[in-house]
Amino acid sequence: MISEKMRPFLANNSAIRMMFEEGRQMAALYGADKVYDFSLGNPNVPAPEKVNQAIKDILDEEDPVYVHGYMSNAGYPQVRAAIAENLNKRYGTAFAEKNLIMTVGAGSGLNVALKTVLDPGDEVITFAPYFLEYRAYVTNYDGVLVTVDPDESTFQINQDGFRAKISAKTKAVIINNPNNPTGVVYSEETIRALASILEEKQKEYGHAIYLISDEPYRELVYDGAAVPFVTNYYANTMVVYSYSKSLSLPGERIGYVLIPDELEDSATTIDAATIANRISGCVNAPSLIQLAVGRCVDCQADLAFYDRNRKLLYEGLTDLGFACIRPQGAFYLWVKVPEAGSTCGEDVETGADSVCGADGGAGADSEGCAAADGAVGGTGIGNAEDAAAKKKAAEAAFVAAAKKYHILAVPGSSFACPGYVRLAYCVSHETIVNSLPEFKKLAAEFSL
């Protein structure tokens, strides 16, 4: 008697549980240090010491009724003001306290943003490969997720593909920058092109199209890469942020939604989003950690740790002959499956929906492995279907082969883009060092 809407999620959930079970069993069988688990985006870097000190100081200095009590549904005023000031300093913006709504992490932030603007049947566009949970979030409000195939040469945004998918029903667009799972940072050129298409289409259809920029990895960038701050390029932008990665606080569920004054009907939208935060049942972002974050707006996690891992894994794998996208952000390496079939780019050329853009399973998972049960149907796309099946088979074979060497990777299908695997390098450095000889055996098996 559970809700019909929940049923499709249950099947996928069993698959996820199986994978977790498998990892646990492998660790028990071979020893945790002999298992190279690159499947989880759970930071291995501890939160900066300043965060824990701030928590203790707050407990010592402040009235517990205040520290653990209700505050405004949008959050503590001084915390929001501190974040606004920090952003203004870094991005030349002019945000005030009122533009920020503290949320239960970016997951709730995305839900707040979507609940605020979506009517049933509204379309939300995102770009494959993408975090499959987006589909669940959009479905929560009876919206329809529409996906755009990637430009597999760069994994920047496929602008032509994007333009083709916008319709009168498009209410919002979700981007994730720096990107999970590819590690790509969208360039200023990419954001400008995206904004230009959005401006054009807003005029054409006569209504706002909101750009929701999901940025939990904003500070995790390397090689001097810069992440464009999207409100500076497009007025109808909401930025969703989380301290999960930048301060290594994923379990604490603390983040925000930023709604700038430039957004259409900004004051009403801010009010509505604040109410959405309340009536979702969250009520407000957790109080103690919210206060602590307010004292640590200038802190960040140990970037050098990730950068060292990134270089070793990227260089190690490319030396072995694997084709990888060089990551400039986040903590993921996106590796092409050897012997994978035709690329998504080729599918794009046929004009058919490629697997990368096809519907993932109705379910999704947090750090996922729900298979992309392609909804590619209709006539005349037999080749695309064949290519898709071939890719998925190659991907499954590669993931299975990796397991023989105790390497756990998330298949690209979990991000609606088969033919790749994602390796999360937010693990200990030793895990990477020790995994390389195993990757060498895996490479040999695939004749690299």
Where in 340-369 is the site for a second copy (CB under 8 A)?
363-367
d(CA 382, CA 390): 12
Least distance to a second copy from the beta carbon of 107, Å?
4
Q: Which of 146, 289, 335, 387 binds a second copy (CB under 8 A)?
A: 289
Q: Please answer whether residues 446 and 404 qualify as being in contact, where contact means their C-beta atoms are separated by less than 8 angstroms.
A: no
Asked whether position 422 contacts a second copy by CB under 8 A, the answer is: no
Asked whether position 379 contacts a second copy by CB under 8 A, the answer is: no
Within 10 angstroms of residue 80's Cβ, the number of other Cβ atoms is 24
d(CA 1, CA 442): 46
Least distance to a second copy from the beta carbon of 444, Å?
34
Q: Which of 35, 125, 193, 282 binds a second copy (CB under 8 A)?
A: 282
State how far the alpha carbon of 256 is from the alpha carbons of 83, 107, 270, 395, in Å.
10, 10, 12, 36
Please report, as a single letter, which amino acid is at residue 164.
A
Least distance to a second copy from the beta carbon of 10, Å?
6
Length of the chain equals 448
Asked whether position 288 contacts a second copy by CB under 8 A, the answer is: yes
309 closest CA partner among 408, 422, 432:
432
Provide the 8-state DSSP code for 133.
Answer: H
Asked whether position 61 contacts a second copy by CB under 8 A, the answer is: no
Q: Which of 15, 50, 91, 133 binds a second copy (CB under 8 A)?
A: 133
Nearer to a second copy, 297 or 376 (CB): 297
Asked whether position 13 contacts a second copy by CB under 8 A, the answer is: yes
Please report, as a single letter, which amino acid is at residue 428.
S
Instruction: Please report, as residue ranges, which positions from 153 to 182 form the binding site for a second copy (by CB under 8 A).
Output: 171
Nearer to a second copy, 100 or 324 (CB): 100
Least distance to a second copy from the beta carbon of 240, Å?
10
Nearer to a second copy, 89 or 207 (CB): 207
Q: Please answer whether residues 261 and 236 qualify as being in contact, where contact means their C-beta atoms are separated by less than 8 angstroms.
A: no
Cis peptide before 43 (omega within 30 of 0): no
Element (H, E) at 258: strand 255-258
Asked whether position 215 contacts a second copy by CB under 8 A, the answer is: no
Pull the structure tokens for residue 290.
């919210």
Least distance to a second copy from the beta carbon of 413, Å?
19
Sequence-distant contacts of 275-283: CB under 8 A, at least 24 apart: 275/73, 276/111, 276/112, 276/115, 276/116, 277/73, 277/74, 277/101, 277/103, 277/108, 277/112, 278/73, 280/108, 280/111, 280/112, 280/115, 282/103, 282/104, 282/108, 283/70, 283/73
Instruction: Please report, as residue ranges, which positions from 390 to 419 form the binding site for a second copy (by CB under 8 A).
Output: none
Looking at 30-38, 242-250, 303-311, 409-417, which segment touches a second copy (CB under 8 A)?
Answer: 242-250
Sequence-distant (6+) residues with CB within 8 A of 374 are: 355, 358, 359, 385, 388
Asked whether position 69 contacts a second copy by CB under 8 A, the answer is: yes
Q: Which of 284, 328, 413, 431 binds a second copy (CB under 8 A)?
A: 284
Query: Which SS3 state, helix, strand or coil, does residue 446 take?
Result: coil
Least distance to a second copy from the beta carbon of 447, Å?
37
Q: Which of 80, 165, 201, 253 binds a second copy (CB under 8 A)?
A: 253
Looking at 102-110, 147-155, 191-199, 220-228, which segment touches a second copy (CB under 8 A)?
Answer: 102-110
Least distance to a second copy from the beta carbon of 313, Å?
19
- Mask for 18-57, x = binds a second copy (CB under 8 A): ----------------------x-xxxxxx---xx--xx-
Asked whether position 434 contacts a second copy by CB under 8 A, the answer is: no
Pull the structure tokens for residue 118.
């979506």
Nearer to a second copy, 63 or 430 (CB): 63
